[in-house]
Amino acid sequence: MQYELQVETVSSIRRRLHFTLQQGEVKGELDRAFNDLKRRVRLPGFRPGKVPRQLLEARFGGQIKGEVSGKLIDRAWRQAVGDLDVAGRPALEDQGELTARDPFTFTIGVDVKPELELDGYKGLSVSYAARAVTDADVDGRVQARLASKARLVEVTDGRGVEAGDLVLTAIKLEKDGESVADEPGTMVSAAGDRYYPGVESLLMGLSVDGTASGEVTIAESSAYEHLRGQTVQATVTVQAIQANQIPELDDELAGELGYEGGADGMRAAVRMEIETAVQDEGRTQARVALLQKLVEGNDFEVPQGMVDEQLQALTEELKVRRAYAGEDPRSIRFSETEMDDLRGRATFAAKASVILAAVARQEDITVSDADLDAKIEEIAQLRGQTVQAIRGYLEREDAIPVLNDRILEEKTLEFLLESADLEVTEAGVEPAPAAAAPKKKAPAKKKAPAKKEAAASAPAAAEAPAWDKKMKKAELLDVAKGLGLDVNTKSKKDEIIAALEAHGA
C-alpha cells in the first residue's frame, strides 16, 4: 500500500500518525468492494451481477464505505507500526470522508515506549544483607530429607495425641439428643480431619482410652447424607495412636537418599545447598536494590499501556498462588488497598523494563539462539516436561518473542550487577524483608509465558526450609508424603510446592 505518513511527537511517549492515501488507492479499493457486492447481491428486477453501480451506492454506499475505510486504516496501520515500539492500543483520532474522487486522510494516536539515553548506570553502590548458614539450618534440612523415610509406628509411651498423629477412635454422634451414629474403629487425622472437621481439637492431649465431647461439623463428603453440613454433638474415645517416626541419619540411609560420603557427606552437601540458596537470595536482594536506584535516578513518563500490562501479569500471578493455596479461583478478589499496592509495583516494573531495554541497546546486549535454547531447557526441567514440548507450546502461543524479552532483561540485569560496587552486610537471624522482591521480579515476568524459576524468587528463611524449590519433583513428593500431605505421583510440581508452603514446612 502506498501512502504518505507524517509522525507528530506529542510527548516523549505519545505519537500521532497522520496518513494520506492517494485517490487512486482509494478508488481501486472502492471499485473492488462494489464489484464484489454486485456479484453477490440479489435485488428484485435485476439479474445476478447486473445491478447498476448507482443503485448499489444508493442502497449500500454507507456500509461499503465503512468496510473499505476500516480495511484501509487497518492495512496502513499494520504497515506503519513496524517502525514504532508501541505500548498500548492505537486510537483513531480523526478521519476524513472516503470518496473515489479525493485522497483519504486519517489520524491515529498511540503510546510508544520511551527511548532513554542513560548514563551513570555502571558502578552503582549496592548493599545487601547476607546471613551465615548455621548448624541449625543444616539440621532442619537434613530432618526434612529424613522425613521422606518416615513410617507410622504405634505410640506406646503413654503420651497424648499430638498434631500430625493418626488416631484410631470410637466416635458417637448425637443430634438434638438422639444418637445418629456409633462408629468404633474410625481413623482420624489430628492434623485436621476431612470428614469430621473440628474433632481433632477434641483429641489433642488425650491418651489411649481418653474421652472428650464437643461439637463437630459433618463434611459434605461424609457418608451421612442427611447430616452433611450440620453441626452435631460428638463423643470421641482414643483407641490407639500412630505417629510418623523419622529414622536417625546413618551412612546407609544417606546413601539411600542419594548422597555420597555417608552421613558426613550428606550434611556437607546439604550445607552447600543452603549456602547456594542464601547466595542466590543475596543476589536477588542486590538486583532489587540496583533496580530501585536506577528507577529513582531516572525520572521519565511511562505509558499507561505498559503499566496495565504489568498489572495484569501481577494479578494473574497472585491469583494462581492463592488458588494453589486452596482458594476457589472464581471467588478471588483484591481489595482496594491490595490494588493500590499492585498498581505501584506495576508502575515500578514498567519503568524498570524501559531502563533495562535502554541499557541493553546502549551496551549492545542481545539474545543468541544458544541463550534461548538454554532458557527453554531450564523451563522444561522446572516443569518436568521435554524441551520439544515447551518449544512447541511457545511457538503455538507465539510466545518466543516474549521469552526473548525476558532473557534480554535477565542478561542486562546481570551485566549491571557485575559492574556494580557490591557491599555485603551481615544479617541477623531473620532474613532481610522480601517485600521489595516483586518489584525486581515484575519486569522479568512481563508477559512471561511460563512461571519464573522458583529458585530465583524463594526468600531465605530464618531457619532453612524443610525443602528447596530446586529439588526434583520426586524429592518434593517424598518430603510432602513424609509430612502426611495430600499429594500423589500425579500431582504437579507446583501443586506439591503449594502444599508444602501451605503446611508451613
Query: Does residue 219 surpass a pLDDT of 80?
Result: no
List, for residues 325-375, the tens digit of each pLDDT value.
788 888 889 999 999 999 999 999 999 999 999 999 999 999 999 999 999
In this prediction, residue 486 carries a pLDDT of 60
Q: May I ask the CATH architecture of the domain 125-132+275-503?
A: Orthogonal Bundle (1.10)
The answer to whether the CB of 365 falls within 8 A of the CB of 415 is yes
Residue 167: enclosing H or E segment and its boundaries? strand 166-175
The CATH number assigned to the domain with range 4-111 reads 3.30.70.1050
Rounded distance between C-alpha atoms, residue 49 and residue 40, angstroms? 7
Q: Cell for 311?
A: 498489572
Over 90: is that where the pLDDT of 64 sits? yes
Please, what's the largest Cα pairwise distance for the chain? 103
The CATH number given to 151-245 is: 3.10.50.40
Residues in the chain: 505
pLDDT greater at residue 259 or residue 226: 259
Q: What is the mean pLDDT of the chain?
A: 83
Give percent of the chain with pLDDT exceeding 70.
84
Tell which residue, 10, 14, 5, 8, has the closest CA to residue 114. 14
Using 50, 70 and 90 to split pLDDT, how confident is the model at 465? very low
* E strands present in 417-456: 421-426
Instruction: Place 62 in a pLDDT band, splitting at 50, 70 and 90.
Output: very high
Higher pLDDT, 442 or 123: 123
Q: Are 218 and 198 in contact (CB under 8 A)?
A: no
User: Residue 200 to residues 163, 208, 236, 242: CA-CA distances in angstroms?
Assistant: 9, 15, 10, 14
- Average pLDDT of span 256-268: 92
220 has a pLDDT exceeding 80: no
- When pLDDT is cut at 50, 70 and 90, the band that residue 475 belongs to is low
Name 468's Cβ contacts closer than 8 Å, sequence gap at least 6.
Answer: 141, 273, 277, 455, 458
163 phi and psi angles, rounded to 5 deg: -60, 135
Phi/psi at 374 (nearest 5 deg)? -65, -40
Q: In Å, how far are 145, 249, 422 from 256, measured between CA atoms? A: 11, 11, 41
Per the listing, cell 493500590 goes with: 340
Residue indicated by cell numbers 526441567: 381
Whole-angstrom CA distances from 30 to 51, 54, 473 are 16, 13, 62
- Give the Cα separation of 414 and 287 in Å (integer): 8
The rounded percent of the chain whose pLDDT value lies above 90 is 44
Tell me which residue of 38, 28, 29 sits closest to 68, measured CA to CA: 29
Spatial CA neighbour of 302 closest among 446, 192, 182:
446
**Residues 6+ away with beta carbon under 8 Å from 379:** 390, 450
Mean pLDDT of 489-494: 64
How many angstroms separate the CA atoms of 312 and 309, rounded? 5
191 or 208, higher pLDDT:
208
Instruction: Give yes or no for a contact between 342 and 312, defined as CB atoms under 8 angstroms apart.
Output: no
Cβ contact 339:358 at 8 Å: no
> Does the pLDDT value for residue 80 go beyond 60?
yes
pLDDT digits over 412-455, tens only?
A: 999 999 999 988 877 643 433 333 333 333 333 333 333 333 32
Whole-number pLDDT of residue 459: 30
Query: What is the end-to-end Cα distance of the chain in Å, rounded?
Result: 63
Domain range list for the chain: 4-111, 125-132+275-503, 151-245
Q: Average the pLDDT over 270-298 and give the result.
A: 90
pLDDT at 176 over 60: yes
Torsion of CA 167, 173, 179, 185, to 10 degrees: -20
Return the amino acid letter for 385.
Q
The CA distance from 155 to 151, in Å, is 12
Instruction: Return the H-helix or E-strand segment holding 498.
Output: helix 493-503
Give me the mean pLDDT over the 192-210 stretch: 84
Dist CA 496 CA 501 (whole Å): 9
Task: Compute the distance between CA of residue 49 and CA of residue 42 in angstroms, rounded to an integer.
Answer: 8
pLDDT reported for residue 311: 93
* The residue to which cell 458417637 is assigned: 172
- pLDDT recorded at residue 484: 54
421-426 and 125-130: which strand pairing?
parallel
Angle, in degrees to the nearest 10, between helices 262-296 and 437-444? 80
| The predicted structure's pLDDT at residue 282 | 85
> How is the beta sheet containing 4-9 ordered, strand by strand?
4-9, 14-21, 104-111, 91-95
Whole-angstrom distance, CA of residue 375 vs CA of residue 380: 9
pLDDT at 492 over 70: no
Q: What is the mean pLDDT of residues 74-86?
A: 89
The yes-or-no verdict on residue 474 having pLDDT over 80 is: no
pLDDT score of 460 more than 60: no
pLDDT at 226: 77
Q: Dump pLDDT digits (tens) for 285-338.
A: 889 899 999 999 998 999 998 999 899 989 998 898 888 878 888 888 999 999
CA distances from 447 to 51, 161, 189, 311, 313 (A): 52, 49, 42, 10, 7
